[in-house]
Chain A
């Protein structure tokens, strides 16, 4: 018994007319057209190149935001400090029900923000009596004492200001914390903190994980992105700086972040990625999915594409 003809899967053997076709000529013309188009667009519009920011430019432009962020790295209240996998075990990894692949895979890029972003960089500084004393006091204290200092500093940090190259907060029983925060801010403003974080693994480095995570914890970085329409709420994933076209092909991925339940979920990234993986599988497997593979036959757009063929029938 012969297999039943399925118009969504099968094609009859073509016995019609053939026309001359010069594939090399077509390719050559297409190459010339694309080159002219790209040259025209490049000459007319160029391309954006907003300079990368550094911890130095940030701490000079907004020292209070930098110092506030530095304190959040020390007391463990920053986003990175409580991130979870792959950086640490302090946060709840994104999940859907019991499905939590980030948690299953664990910590692969260990980050202790207090040590990596504050204490270790300060220890790399040239000997300074006040700073050496503050670090010795910090490292010699119990965790309970450190917590008490951090709480005291936190209570007055809302009145933080920057004056005379120093971070100023009202006096409190905060031990060495003010010296550490001021020293780290001065270190950042000199450019030494960028160097310390970038070269923490050695002289040759191409890994900017630490300085980028530090930058991402402050509000200055996001404020620059907001001006460039790059925030997630501004469909930023498909935008480019200076209003240039960006990754427009990510429109569907970006779309989900704008709508419920994704825009209110603590696991939005995991849910959107999961959904996009399913939709991607559907795209790849269209030929096998009854109903979906019939859509072309139902919408009949093919009649426009092959109009000459159908006119000749």
Chain B
């Protein structure tokens, strides 16, 4: 017979979390032997590149969007932000196509694939709003060109790429929250489901 404590929402949630993602799954100390390829490195490289981008972005945010134009240190932090983004996308795209080659959606991992693909799209929008927030010629040109594409969909009525304030808010508040939430969900799904096993070429024999 369940007690009052057992019926509490908090207790139920804790038990659900403990059952779905026990500590040994969240922080595993072993992996199946087939996890032995350099392609697996690109997932963690994507994560740490994202951390680097967020870290440098936080420093840029502390001093404001104009700082890097007038400060040598600011310009260097901006360089680290830019190259972090380039490394992030390189690692993410290799990770994406690596997972495609592995058909990594198999074995009930469909949502893992979908969250990964949506994270890629969210990252594109995050980077795009960053390019619009540079407050230099590049952001002027990109915004005036991009407006036509977005306006053609009707999106320009609400998402005005020529409005610097709106784009900066999307870049430093909304999109980071969305991207980090998606990545966290994606990683949790990977930990719950584990790494997808190799493709079985002869199911009758089994592998």
Contacts and interface: CB of A to CB of B under 8 A. Distances in A.
Contact of A21 (B29, B153, B197): B29
Interface stretch (A145-153, A158-166, A303-311): A303-311
Contacts of B11: none
B20 interface: no
Contacts of B37: 305-306
Given A11-B107, A101-B154, A45 B199 contact: no
Nearest to A313: B207
Majority-rule SS of B interface residues: helix
A11 to B, nearest CB: 4
A105 interface: yes
A236 B138 CA distance: 11
Interface in A46-66: 46-53
Interface in B85-110: 86-87, 89, 93, 98, 100-103, 105-107, 110
Interface stretch (A168-176, A182-190, A242-250): A242-250
Contact of A11 (B44, B148, B200): B200
A41 B145 CA distance: 28
Contacts of B140: 52-53, 212, 215, 221
Interface stretch (A70-78, A133-141, A279-287): A279-287
Classify chain A's interface size: 35 or more
B206 interface: yes
Interface residues of B, number: 91
Interface stretch (A23-31, A114-122, A123-131): A23-31
B157 A297 contact: no
Interface stretch (B2-10, B45-53, B173-181): B45-53
Contacts of B145: 230, 232, 236-237
A113 interface: no
B68 A49 contact: yes
Given A46-B79, A302-B199, A17 B33 contact: yes
B136 A49 contact: yes
Question: Which residue of A11, A34, A206, A207 has the most chain B CB atoms within 10 A of its CB atom?
Answer: A34
A176 to B, nearest CB: 30
Contacts of A215: 140, 144
Interface string B17-43: 000000000011111111111010100
B152 A306 contact: no
27 contacts: A12-B207, A14-B32, A17-B33, A18-B32, A23-B27, A30-B47, A37-B83, A38-B87, A46-B79, A49-B68, A49-B134, A50-B138, A51-B69, A85-B156, A108-B158, A109-B157, A207-B164, A221-B141, A228-B141, A230-B138, A267-B152, A269-B151, A270-B153, A287-B113, A302-B199, A306-B102, A313-B207
Interface of A: 5, 7-12, 14, 16-24, 26-27, 30-31, 33-35, 37-39, 41-42, 45-53, 83, 85-86, 93-94, 101-102, 104-106, 108-109, 205-209, 212-213, 215-216, 221, 224-225, 228, 230, 232, 236-237, 240-241, 244-250, 267, 269-270, 272-273, 280, 283-288, 293, 295-297, 299, 301-302, 305-306, 308-310, 313
Given A49-B134, A207-B162, 5 more contacts: A20-B30, A52-B136, A109-B160, A228-B141, A230-B141
